[in-house]
Structure 1
Amino acid sequence: MLHKKISFPDSFRLFFLRAKKAGWAASEGFVSPILQLALTPFLLHELGKVEFGTWVLVLTFWSLGPLLSFAAAVATFNRLSELVAGDDKSGLVQAFKTGVLLGLGATLLSFVVLGVVFVVYAFLFGNEVRYHHAVPLVLLAGVVLLVQEIDNIFSSALKAHSRFDLVAKIDISFRVLWVSSVALSAAWFDSAFACVFAAVFVALFKSAVKFNVVHRLLGRPSYIFCAQQYFWDKKVSALAAWNWGQAIGGALFNAADKFLVGALFGLEVLSSYSICSQVAQFVHGIQASAAQVLLPWSSRHWVGATSDTMKKFRRVAFWGGLGCLILPLIVAAGMPYILGFWIGDDFARANIVLAYALLVGYASLSLNVPLHYILLGGGHIKILTVLNLLGGGLSVLLGIGLSNFGVAYFALSKCVYSPVTLIALKNLRNSSRGDQ
């Protein structure tokens, strides 16, 4: 059987196209944190510590989106990538509708639960709820979170079609508008409530634009949900359940540590820990964003995969993982200058060891980024979820155990996460798709 050989110009063109997609995917993950880092000292100056602290709590609340929405956006991305690979156009619309309704329902249900908790807390500890805009602030933050999660589902539809360029162009444009609106609101009103109010309008505007793009991409389907027309895609909800488990594992790695540092070391140490974490997370976030292009690519190649395909997967996972260490090494070389320029030389000298410890933890996690997306494209979500939960749990337990030696040792507990999740390499030994 003859095989068509790819000439050097063709192979170079394929490499360039893939690098271009990865560049667009990484650009949003690069620009957004940079803008956020630039906004932080300005808001701290304009709002003051109390209002700025309130703003940070709102940002933390928004970061819980994947948990509160039952990981609907990630599940939709997984399912749509599989359907695009199989050229199932009718299934695409069904999966998209399912993702939107799942995200809406799960987020609204989460709001009801959080609302009950807030009411109970306010009733029992009313004297402690002193922020005069607490109720409207929670409601506005909830609206932004709901719109944000639906917007992420729209992004999933575009990314599944490998339109990372469209997602990046829309997100970056509106991120600049978001930062400008928040900064102006802080300067004029000196209020976190005003900042959140501005964020509501930007979020609604961005989602409307993105929905229009997705609507045309899917062939302008009807969104009238008839009782006689069964459209629910069970695979989306099944994937969401497992992705939600991964979101919990991610929360254990990225959020639980901050609560523990505050409880074990105090708020001053937590402040330094959070600032150093931003640099380390920024490095990992860029690479994770760029590697998203591997999911639709691997979904296509898992269909009818052969032993040669599996060799290609292993090469990409190995060399891609090693490549993900380049950026952390560059940042490590310039870490004292980065912290000194951003916060100050005194802060840099006092916290350089902590910053390096956190960077090592996130750099080790970067090793498994290509592997994660390759296996996700092949439907191996169960093993990924189990290992993410195991890795997150072990890092928390090890951190508690190492806390007696200092916060830098606590930060090094993150290094246990990567070896645990790399166990998933065994799933690249055969060409069968995972059981979803």
Structure 2
Amino acid sequence: MSFTAKLRSVHISNATYGIADYVSLPALMLCSAPFLLHRLGVEQYAIWVLASAAVTSGILLSAGFGDAALKFIAAYRGSNDHVGVERIIRTLLGINLALGTTIAILVGLLIPFLVSHLPNVSAALRISYQRALAIGCILLVVKAVESVFICAQRAYERYDVAARFTIATRVATIGAAVAIAAFGRGTVTIMLSTLLIAIISASLQAFAVWRRLAMHSLLPSLNRASVRELFGFGAFSWIQGAVGLLTGQADRFLVGYLLGMHAIAYYSICVQAALPIHGIVAAGLQVLFPYLAARLGLLSASAMRQKFATAFAVNVVLVAALAAPVIFGSRYILRLWMGEDFSSHAYVALSITACGFALLGLNVTGFYMLMAMGRIKLLALVNVAGAAAMLAAIAILAPRFGIVGAAAGRLIYGPIICLIYIPLRKALHITQGVPTQASMQGAL
């Protein structure tokens, strides 16, 4: 096999593992939900979902510097600077441990308030929720640390290793939850098993990174130069992640406030059904980020344009393949999934929502290329503008057109994000020499 064919095979493998990583959790939840809901009961199941959501939100906030670390690890790896790689990994460990612990403490302090404001919940369930959240706070710290080792594997373009750990952990976690529910135990026991599995997974991943990268130490550090590097890029990455977390929930709260709880059920199902159009494309093409970050000073401008053209063509084909069935088959999909009555109310909204996520999915290639070039500030600002415009459009259209108006409000987000291709086009038309990261940033 030639080097080019081997490299292409590696990219396909990484993309496949990235997609498998993305779809594994919703697939496992979908398969296990009927059994868990039946065995745990609606209230215990809801407590588990709420506790898991709180942990997931905390992890996203505490591990927001992962994109910055991935970029710099890949860059140092590309220049064969092993000391720089180890310094970034240890510094990210220190940052994530500090942020994760801080957020866990804040959540822990809010537990009494959260529990006391649960409506129509018995004292026993309040205690279960309080204990589940307390375990979740510890889990949050473990997951924040674990994300460092996942990031390191991806920076070395070993998405297969990272995905195998992640998928195996999810299978073990959901499998344990099913077994625990089958034996008649509740949410607290499930959270304890989840914590134990997470600790084992993080330990194994730490050992894998330590051995594969031949690191001298994995003790957390806060190296001043590395902190400056990570914060210079990571602060905007964190803002972008926080905006994504906000817009992923704020639109639903806004629809509920404007149209009532009945409408939010239709709207949420439409968003849930259309979300994989963007999610699967992003998961498959995320390999662009470490690949380009490691080779930014080595590829010529013409080579960069060629990489962009290939990746964008794949991007368009994937979006079309995923979006077309949902856009044109929305009524049939909802009829099979949710029933005729639900379908008649929501199929137009689903088609429009799918168009919105298709437009958003078209930005994936440009997003990862600009990330590799270090233009995170530009991406963060565009995402903030897109999110603000989307929420404003929903606020204007939803009261007049109902859930169809709310879905139409999402359409504005994608085109605004796709404006990133304007500065990217300028950067890709540098014609002389081999572009360095500094020259690419200057062009932007």
Instruction: Check whether the contact 1:52–1:192 (CA below 8 A) recurs between aligned residues.
Output: yes
Instruction: Check whether the contact 2:68–2:230 (CA below 8 A) recurs between aligned residues.
Output: yes
d(CA) in 2 for partners of 1:199 and 1:380? 37
The C-alpha deviation readout for 1:189-214, integer Å capped at 9, x for no partner, is 36332322221122112112211111
Q: Which residue of 1 aligns with 2:37?
A: 44
Match of 1:398 among 383, 393, 396: 393
Check if 1:413 corresponds to 2:409.
Answer: yes
The C-alpha deviation readout for 1:139-181, integer Å capped at 9, x for no partner, is 1111222222222221100000000111122222222111111
Q: Which residue of 2 aligns with 1:3?
A: none
d(CA) in 1 for partners of 2:304 and 2:248? 32
Q: Unaligned 5+ residue runs, structure 1?
A: 1-7
Instruction: Check whether the contact 1:66–1:244 (CA below 8 A) recurs between aligned residues.
Output: no
Instruction: Check whether the contact 2:48–2:132 (CA below 8 A) recurs between aligned residues.
Output: no
Check if 1:71 corresponds to 2:67.
Answer: no
d(CA) in 2 for partners of 1:335 and 1:147? 40
What is the alpha-carbon root mean square deviation over aligned residues?
A: 2.9
Give secondary structure in 2 for the equivalent of 1:274.
Answer: helix
Which is worse superposed, 185-194 or 256-265?
185-194
Q: Which residue of 2 aligns with 1:28?
A: 21
Which is worse superposed, 90-99 or 308-317?
308-317
The alpha-carbon distance between structure 1 residues 218 and 26, as it changes in their structure 2 partners (threshold 3 A), is: same
The alpha-carbon distance between structure 1 residues 278 and 39, as it changes in their structure 2 partners (threshold 3 A), is: farther
Instruction: Check whether the contact 1:70–1:241 (CA below 8 A) recurs between aligned residues.
Output: no
Instruction: Check whether the contact 2:270–2:349 (CA below 8 A) recurs between aligned residues.
Output: yes
d(CA) in 2 for partners of 1:225 and 1:52? 36
Instruction: Check whether the contact 2:69–2:92 (CA below 8 A) recurs between aligned residues.
Output: yes
Match of 1:93 among 71, 86, 89: 86
d(CA) in 2 for partners of 1:274 and 1:37? 16
Check if 1:288 corresponds to 2:295.
Answer: no
Cα displacement (A) at 1:256: 1.1
Instruction: Check whether the contact 1:178–1:199 (CA below 8 A) recurs between aligned residues.
Output: yes
Code of the residue aligned with 1:59 in structure 2: it is: S
Instruction: Check whether the contact 1:378–1:434 (CA below 8 A) recurs between aligned residues.
Output: yes
Instruction: State, as a whole percentage, how many aligned pairs show the same letter.
Output: 25
Instruction: Check whether the contact 2:105–2:137 (CA below 8 A) recurs between aligned residues.
Output: no
What is the 5 A alignment of 1:302-313? Answer: 302-313=296-307
d(CA) in 2 for partners of 1:407 and 1:317? 34
Instruction: Check whether the contact 1:72–1:153 (CA below 8 A) recurs between aligned residues.
Output: no
Cα displacement (A) at 1:76: 1.8
The alpha-carbon distance between structure 1 residues 39 and 69, as it changes in their structure 2 partners (threshold 3 A), is: same
Which is worse superposed, 134-143 or 305-314?
305-314
The C-alpha deviation readout for 1:18-54, integer Å capped at 9, x for no partner, is 2122112111112222112222233222233222222
Give secondary structure in 2 for the equivalent of 1:40.
Answer: helix
Check if 1:168 corresponds to 2:159.
Answer: no
Code of the residue aligned with 1:188 in structure 2: it is: F
Code of the residue aligned with 2:64 in structure 1: it is: A
Check if 1:84 corresponds to 2:84.
Answer: no
Match of 1:146 among 141, 151, 157: 141
d(CA) in 2 for partners of 1:225 and 1:314? 37
d(CA) in 2 for partners of 1:141 and 1:49? 20
d(CA) in 2 for partners of 1:302 and 1:279? 36
d(CA) in 2 for partners of 1:20 and 1:423? 30
The C-alpha deviation readout for 1:371-429, integer Å capped at 9, x for no partner, is 11111111111101111111111111111111111112202222211211222213322
Aligned residues: 428
Q: Which residue of 1 aligns with 2:316?
A: 322
Check if 1:422 corresponds to 2:418.
Answer: yes
d(CA) in 2 for partners of 1:215 and 1:98? 15
Match of 1:207 among 199, 202, 207: 202
Match of 2:106 among 96, 100, 113: 113
Q: Which residue of 1 aligns with 2:251?
A: 257
d(CA) in 2 for partners of 1:129 and 1:264? 30
Code of the residue aligned with 1:320 in structure 2: it is: V
Cα displacement (A) at 1:334: 5.0
Cα displacement (A) at 1:224: 4.5
Cα displacement (A) at 1:128: 8.0
Check if 1:220 corresponds to 2:211.
Answer: no
The alpha-carbon distance between structure 1 residues 408 and 183, as it changes in their structure 2 partners (threshold 3 A), is: farther
Cα displacement (A) at 1:233: 3.9
Q: Which residue of 2 aligns with 1:5?
A: none
d(CA) in 2 for partners of 1:338 and 1:249? 30
Cα displacement (A) at 1:120: 5.5
d(CA) in 2 for partners of 1:32 and 1:124? 29
d(CA) in 1 for partners of 2:408 and 2:19? 26
d(CA) in 1 for partners of 2:297 and 2:289? 13
d(CA) in 2 for partners of 1:174 and 1:124? 33
Code of the residue aligned with 1:302 in structure 2: it is: L
Q: Unaligned 5+ residue runs, structure 2?
A: 428-434
TM-score (normalizing by structure 2)? 0.87
d(CA) in 2 for partners of 1:392 and 1:226? 35
Q: Which residue of 1 aligns with 2:177?
A: 182
d(CA) in 2 for partners of 1:226 and 1:265? 49
Q: Which residue of 2 aligns with 1:157?
A: 152
Check if 1:434 corresponds to 2:441.
Answer: yes
Which is worse superposed, 236-245 or 160-169?
236-245
Q: Which residue of 1 aligns with 2:7?
A: 14
Which is worse superposed, 31-40 or 67-76?
67-76
d(CA) in 2 for partners of 1:273 and 1:73? 31
